[in-house]
Amino acid sequence: MIACDFDGTITRDDTLHLVVERFGDGRTWRALHPELLAGRISVEAAMEREFATVRADRATALAAVREHAGLRDGFCEFLAWTRQRGYPFFVMSNGFRTIIRDFLTHIGEPELDVYSHDCRFDTDPPTIVWAERGTVCPLCNRPCKRHDLTSVRGDARVVYIGDGLSDRCVAQAADIVYARADLAEYLAGLAVPFRPFDDFHDIQTDLTRTADAA
């Protein structure tokens, strides 16, 4: 099975960041991001503080994401390939279902399995609705995406694809990891093996080689 992050992985830009920069206070993001990477503030606390600055209705926020988030090259072809091969595909995100669903529908993939938080735009500021992710993860001490992977993996071999902070624990539970950006740096620092990628063509080529060699 394949589990894949959304923000900065399927999309080129982080959609929460995009919404905060356009409709909230981008300075909050820039001030909190180093704190986050250094582990001095939790992801949830940072998201609450950033999102509290957002003033946008749902339609406006979704339209901005559709227009500006950008789709990483090769994603739709890669999905077609996973279906051909019979590999189940799951989106596992620390972002918001409303935004993810809308973007995936926009690119012609309305029915992917999505595990994520959500947000409501009928309040001002919007309200984050946290996903149920079980008890705390032994690695990060918070409920995290590792829970979602555990709930669906069964005895499947797991390929995980990601780029950031929220992928750190779940990536280490996978059999094969494709990583870029912050996640690649982090795993390299721990000497955890991963395969670098720029786009989904890279992953499809590499996984085809791996599967055909097996």
Give the residues lining the site for Zn ion (CB under 5 A).
137, 139-140, 144, 146, 169
Per partner kind, with CB cut-offs from 5 to 8 A, the member of Zn ion, Mg ion, none near residue 5 is: Mg ion
Per partner kind, with CB cut-offs from 5 to 8 A, the member of Mg ion, Zn ion, none near residue 139 is: Zn ion
Is 1 within 8 Å of 152 (Cβ atoms)?
yes
43 CB neighbour count, 10 Å cutoff = 16
Per partner kind, with CB cut-offs from 5 to 8 A, the member of Zn ion, Mg ion, none near residue 169 is: Zn ion
Interacting residues of 162 by C-beta distance below 8 A, sequence separation 6+: 4, 5, 9, 170, 171, 177, 178, 179, 183
Per partner kind, with CB cut-offs from 5 to 8 A, the member of Mg ion, Zn ion, none near residue 144 is: Zn ion
Q: Closer CB to Mg ion, residue 60 or residue 192? A: 192
Q: Closer CB to Mg ion, residue 7 or residue 21? A: 7
Is 145 within 8 Å of 167 (Cβ atoms)?
yes
CB of 214 to Mg ion, least distance (A): 28
Q: Which residues of the shown chain bind Mg ion in the complex (CB under 5 A)?
A: 5, 7-8, 163-164
CB of 38 to Zn ion, least distance (A): 17
**Residue environment code for 181-212, b if the CB has 16+ CB neighbours within 10 A, otherwise e:** ebbbebbeeeeeebbebeebebbbeebeeeee
Q: Closer CB to Mg ion, residue 8 or residue 74? A: 8
CB of 168 to Mg ion, least distance (A): 11
Is 179 within 8 Å of 165 (Cβ atoms)?
no
DSSP lists the bridge partners of residue 90 as: 3, 113
Per partner kind, with CB cut-offs from 5 to 8 A, the member of Mg ion, Zn ion, none near residue 137 is: Zn ion
Q: Closer CB to Zn ion, residue 184 or residue 207? A: 184
CB of 127 to Zn ion, least distance (A): 24
CB of 130 to Zn ion, least distance (A): 14
- How far is the CA of 191 from the CAs of 52, 118, 144, 203, in angstroms? 37, 33, 22, 21
CB of 23 to Mg ion, least distance (A): 20
Residues 70/186/151/84 CA torsion (nearest 10 deg): 50
Q: Closer CB to Mg ion, residue 124 or residue 131? A: 131
